[in-house]
Structure formats: C-alpha cells, structure tokens
Homo-oligomer: A and B are copies of this chain.
C-alpha cells in the first residue's frame, strides 16, 4: 500500500514532523516512533510484536509513524533482551560441488520460511580443527543452531568433543554417531544402481569411489558391495577419486585398459563424466561395451555423451529437513537427537541401456 514516488531524489529522511529537537543522524529508534505517534515506546513494541490489547486506532497511528520515519527494528537489541537471535549457522565445505550447494539452498529457503536468518561459514579444509573453528565462529556470532553440510567422517568426532551447547544437525553423518542428522540412504541407492548394472547380464560391476573420509563414499561402497555379494559375483577393488571429473577421468584411464571391465558404478556424476571421457578416448563404447551409472543426478547428467544413468538425491529436501530438525531442537530443547533418512531413486538413461532409440531428456523428470 501507499505508493510514494521517489521524487525527492536524494533525501528520504524524516524530513517532516521533526519538532526541532536535535540533529539526529541516527536511525530512528522505537522512541522516535513513539514520540511521533504520541504513545510510549512500549506501545510501539506491542504493535511490532502483534500483541492484542492495542486499540485499532493506536495501532494504525503507530504503523503510520513507522513508515513515516522509515523505522526498522534493531535486531541486536531484540536479540540481546530476548536471548534469541533467530539465526542458524551453516557450515559448508567451500567447494562448488553440486550436492552441498543444492542442500545449502534448501536450508536457506526453509530457514527463510521459518523466519530464521542464515549465517554461512565455508570450510577451507575438512580437518577437525577447521570444523571446530567454524563452530566457534558461529557460536560467537550468536547462532541458535548449526547445520553441518560437510563430509564428517573424520570430523564428526570433532563435533563430539565440541564444547558446544548449541543444537546441531549434520548432513549425512555416520549412522553410528548420536548426533541429529539428515542422511540420504547412500547404500540403498548404490545397491539399486549396482543391481541395475548386473541385471543387464554384466559379469560384475567396478566402482570409482569418492574420497575415503566422506561418509557418502562409504555408504555407496557398502551398497555396491552388498549388491555384488547378493549376486554372488566378484567384488573388484574400488578405485578412489575426489569427486572431480578429473579424478574420474584418471580412474577411467585405468579401467578402460582392462578388457574385463563391462560395467562401472561411479561415485558421482562428475566422476562419471570423466570416466565417460576416458572410455571414449580408449574406444570403449558406452553403453554397449561398458555400462556406466553415476550418482546425484546433476542437471547436466541427461546431456552427457551418452546421457547418464544415475541415482537421484533430493538435496533440497535434505536441506529442508535439516532446518525442521534444527528448529525442533532449538524450540524444544532436551529432545532426543532425531535422524531423518531420505531415500534416493535410480534414474535410468542411455549410459546403462544398450541399443535403444535415442531418448535424451527422458527419465529426468525435471522439466
């Protein structure tokens, strides 16, 4: 309501109704609003916090004064007196991996909806010292809870001996830890992917794993092994990458030379991309000669050459659940640490289905 043209150009300060008190350079406070509206500051506070028992006429007078002065509540003062900052911290790995970024967005969005602010700290490295530092930073900043989006294989213990009284939710924490967490059932996804590769009659499935200190990697290795065991086929030694296309490419250069390799389950889509590249260079046809499945379902996966079969994780959902759990902990402390599990889903595309008609974009379910 109230459409005022910005005709005044430079000045949008009070400019009127200023009874020549003093040269206030400060931002208007509750007091200023109260004075202009002819009420006490407490009444202004009541209007601000939607208390009942404020007469309608008073309320609108106060609201008018607020707009007139361009009043904005001072969150520091509010935080100080209430003891609540309505801010959550997010610790993310400072990389540009798709998963963490997408999760981050889910967190951000959910927090906004719940009227919480988000304070981010990127992690330079993943050792426990960095994690502790990051938590300390956030604690000092006054956050009421922390979401950790980082591989915490080695670092989840760091959280254990944290001198921390603040609620924490960890993404893909190790199952054994007793921290609240939201986890994607990596093993399940990996098992489905592996079964899918086996079902086409391949003798066994090789694996390019993620870094050993990521719990995601471990879960995927577990599911892959489980599927191979169930099918009573050999478990080849997994190669290890670092999630990058580059590392996938290097693993691919090794695998491409081995004629017995006919199916590869890559730890994520980026490594799968590198893998495809290497196989292509060595003249190993995908999917006819070698079938490939990735993990994540990044938006580009459907446009790889060939389009990549993969396991889709709903990262936004993960982020949303983190916030839900965290706010639960914040608002009802002492509750037991919950764990929420998200189930990923196999998406089949060309890289694992030999000899069919082109079908790019099919099965992505995103458009």
Contacts and interface: CB of A to CB of B under 8 A. Distances in A.
A280 interface: yes
Nearest to A281: B358
A361 B246 contact: yes
Interface in A43-85: 70, 72-77, 79-80, 85
B120 A118 contact: yes
Contacts of A102: 96
Given A96-B105, A108-B120, A140 B72 contact: yes
Interface string A232-254: 00000000000011101100000
B73 A80 contact: no
Contact of A94 (B72, B98, B109): B109
A337 to B, nearest CB: 14
22 contacts: A12-B163, A74-B80, A75-B140, A77-B80, A80-B80, A94-B108, A96-B98, A96-B101, A101-B101, A109-B122, A119-B120, A245-B299, A245-B302, A246-B302, A246-B367, A274-B300, A276-B305, A277-B305, A277-B307, A277-B360, A281-B360, A304-B305
Interface of A: 6, 12, 27, 70, 72-77, 79-80, 85, 87, 94-96, 98, 101-102, 105, 108-109, 112, 117-122, 124, 137, 139-142, 161, 163, 165, 244-246, 248-249, 270, 273-274, 276-277, 280-281, 299-300, 302-305, 307, 358, 360-361, 367
